[in-house]
Structures are given as C-alpha cells and as structure tokens.
C-alpha cells in the first residue's frame, strides 16, 4: 500500500519510512504540514500517518482541510500528545486512529492494516474458525473439537476479536480499545487475567495450543503451521 508520513522529526521519519518499506509498502515523507497537505491532495495514498505538531500547518488543521474537501483517506495521528483530551481532538478533527509516541513499530503496522481493512469492509463473518476452534457469532456458541466451551461475556468478546484477527499480532492497546472500550491504559493486569482464563478454557486439555503470547508485543491466535 502507499503511505504518506507527515513528520517533522527527520530521524523519526527516517526510521518509520525505512520500516514501512522493509514491510513491503511504498512510503513517502513530508517534513511540514504544507508539503504534507500538497502531497495528500495529490491523492493515491491508502493511509496518512500524521504528527500533530508540525511546522507551517499543524496536523489537526491539515486533516481538517482534507475532510472539508471531501477527502476520506484514512488518517492515523501519531503524537507525543497522549492525554484523553488530545486524542479526542485528533478524532474530532477527522482522524481515524490515534497512536501515542513512543510507540512499538509492530503496533503501527497493525493499526495501518486495520485502517485499510476498515475502509474496504468485507461481509462480516458469523462463523469463525481457527484450526478446530469454532465460534458461532449468532448463537454465541464456542466449540473446540466438537466440545462446547462456556465463556463469560468478556472472555467471549476477547476470543471473537482474536479470532477475527487470527494469525495477526494483536497488541494490548488494541484489546483495551476494542474489547474493553478503554482509550487509555488503566495500568492494571486486566488483560493478563482474561487472557489466562481464556487460554485455560480453549487450550488446556487439547494437544495443540492456539493462543500465543508475543513477548513485549501482544498476542496472536493462530492455527499450527
């Protein structure tokens, strides 16, 4: 995909563009808001990654102009401004997502992928399957190898999210925002507790584990290779 990075910190921009290119994407860079707006208006980008504090034209104003012109390109704000009010301002200005610096590059990639999928939605699946683990969304029924697994509501929501992102890295922030609807880190072990409970129900007693912890990054629910 084609990604435009609008970031005035040259070192941060080089790191990001290099990582995006190594991940197979086409990445361009603009060092200020005016140049970023001009490139973005040229069209053709799948995602914009925009810093909020930019010279010449700040990130909020830049995105606001694009939206006023009817441009719906997905925008990920990337900023050191991480308070709830700052995030709300970013989303109200037309941003589709908001990631706070410092960030993990794997999470940046995951959020970019999610934005692109959201823009081109496919029919929402109601029957999910990973190896011998199955989830019937309409019946809210979970089975593994034909054995029914009883889950609490939060465990069910966690499993559904993981299954809809099967084979992908799912970060703690993604779980907090999409399963718990938290847009801040409560600094508790709530995710660890629920992951542990879920793993005990879907993996314990079965030959092959499906739920994996990616140390320092997050989790992945995946079928055996």
Where in the chain are the domains?
2-119, 127-221
Domain at 2-119, CATH homologous superfamily: Response regulator (3.40.50.2300)
List pLDDT tens digits, range 3-27. Answer: 999 999 999 999 999 999 888 888 9
Contact 10, 31 (CB under 8 A): yes
Structure tokens at 145: 């190898």
Cα angle at 125 between 162 and 94, to 5 degrees?
A: 75
All residues at 6 or more sequence positions from 22 whose CB lies less than 8 Å from its CB, including other chains: none
Q: Which pLDDT score, from 0 to 100, does residue 200 have?
A: 97
List pLDDT tens digits, range 192-206. Answer: 999 999 999 999 999
List pLDDT tens digits, range 159-201. Answer: 999 998 899 999 988 898 888 877 777 788 999 999 999 999 9
List pLDDT tens digits, range 50-93. Answer: 999 999 999 999 999 999 999 999 999 999 988 889 899 999 99
Q: Is the pTM of this model over 0.75?
A: no
Q: Which pLDDT score, from 0 to 100, does residue 18 have?
A: 92
Residue 124's pLDDT band (cuts 50, 70, 90): low
Q: Do domains 2-119 and 127-221 have the same CATH topology?
A: no
CATH fold for domain 127-221: Arc Repressor Mutant, subunit A (1.10.10)
Residue 44's pLDDT band (cuts 50, 70, 90): confident
Residue 121's pLDDT band (cuts 50, 70, 90): low
Hey, how many other C-beta atoms are within 10 angstroms of the C-beta on 179? 21
From the list 29, 34, 64, 67, the residue with the least C-alpha distance to 49 is 29
More reliable by pLDDT, 186 or 94: 94
């Amino acid at each position: 995909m084609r990604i435009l990075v609008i970031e005035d910190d040259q070192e941060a921009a080089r790191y990001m563009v290099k990582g995006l290119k190594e991940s197979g994407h086409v990445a361009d860079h603009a060092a200020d808001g005016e140049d970023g707006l001009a490139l973005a208006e040229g069209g053709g980008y799948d995602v914009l990654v925009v810093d909020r504090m930019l010279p010449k034209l700040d990130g909020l104003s830049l995105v606001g102009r694009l939206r006023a012109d009817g441009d719906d390109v997905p925008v990920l704000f990337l900023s050191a401004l991480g308070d709830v009010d700052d995030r709300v301002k970013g989303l109200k200005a037309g941003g589709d997502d908001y990631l706070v610096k410092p960030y993990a590059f794997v999470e940046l990639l995951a959020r970019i992928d999610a934005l692109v999928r959201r823009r081109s939605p496919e029919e929402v699946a109601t029957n999910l399957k990973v190896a011998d683990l199955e989830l019937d969304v309409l019946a809210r029924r979970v089975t593994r190898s034909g054995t029914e697994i009883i889950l609490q509501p939060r465990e069910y929501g966690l499993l559904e999210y993981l299954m809809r992102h099967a084979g992908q890295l799912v970060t703690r922030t993604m779980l907090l925002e999409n399963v718990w609807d938290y847009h801040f880190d409560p600094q508790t072990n709530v995710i660890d507790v629920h992951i542990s409970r879920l793993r005990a129900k879907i993996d314990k007693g079965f030959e092959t584990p499906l739920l994996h912890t990616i140390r320092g990054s997050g989790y992945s629910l995946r079928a055996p290779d």
